[in-house]
Structure 1
Amino acid sequence: MKYDFKAARKQIEELTLMYRWLNYRGLLNEHNVNFLLEGINELEQEIAAAKEKMAARHGHHFSEQDKNFVNHIIPFSQYDNKEESLHEHAHGL
């Protein structure tokens, strides 16, 4: 079965939009951040694994190209300390 990259990227986009909407409405909390981050990270890992599987099957080396994948930028306007990352906030670091 072929992995649906387009659908996975669309889900990542939807999760990012949900984050921005919740942040805009002031409804963003630790539970929401954790849920959205876990979803985005899981999908990105699935995409990377599918690309590696394709590379192994076809003998290409896509896995080397995956090191420069685009990470979705989510604004941190709600935080006083602009250097605090969403990941640190989500995991209580």
Structure 2
Amino acid sequence: MKPGIHPDYRPVVFQDATTGRTFLTRSTITTSRTIDLETPDGVRTYPLAVVEVTSDSHPFWTGGRRIVDTAGQVEKFRRRYGQRR
């Protein structure tokens, strides 16, 4: 890689805004917030990025998906607009 043109790729802690769950990964994101995280080597300070949705709170992964009643939607449409010919 060409030196000096790539962003800094470093460990970053992401935190779910809804559940508060945190996980450590690597990223190029820039943030001014930090967090102290317990590691096997002791407590270390990492940059903190707060995100709205992670797999911990996303409805697809938590099983909170909404079941779409397509038959009910069709009947609602027909009641509202009738049978047009």
Structure-2-length-normalised TM-score? 0.22
1 or 2, which has the higher helix percentage? 1
Which structure has more relative contact order (CA 8 Å, sep 6+)? It is 1
Q: Which has the larger radius of gyration?
A: 2
1 or 2, which has the higher strand percentage? 2
Structure-1-length-normalised TM-score? 0.21
